[in-house]
Amino acid sequence: MPIFEFKCADCDNKFEELFTAGGSDNGIACPACESTNVTKLFSTYAPQMGSSASNAPAMPACAGGCPNAGSCGMM
């Protein structure tokens, strides 16, 4: 179940709730004031997808202990 962030329109409290897929926002109540006048917030979290040569982490040298039997070119 994903966790969504909500904001209460009555007291401005921000809180998180576990939310079932296909569930309705109805019935979600603010834990501070118990109001159901809440709004689901859009997440600002943006995971990085994929990688490119410019931001890929450097590969460490294998120093002879290469599990690829030297196919990496480091031996």
- How do residues 26-68 score in pLDDT, each as one tens digit? 789 999 999 999 999 986 665 555 555 455 555 555 555 555 5
Whole-number Å distance between alpha carbons of 30 and 14: 8
pLDDT grade for 71, boundaries at 50, 70 and 90: low
| Cβ proximity of 16 and 26 under 8 Å | no
Strand partners, 7: 14, 39
Q: Is the pLDDT of residue 75 over 50?
A: no
| Cβ proximity of 43 and 19 under 8 Å | no
pLDDT per residue as tens digits for the range 3-15: 889 999 999 999 9
60 or 2: whose pLDDT is higher? 2
* Domain regions of the chain by residue span: 3-40
Residues 6+ apart with CB under 8 A from 5: 14, 15, 16, 40, 41, 43
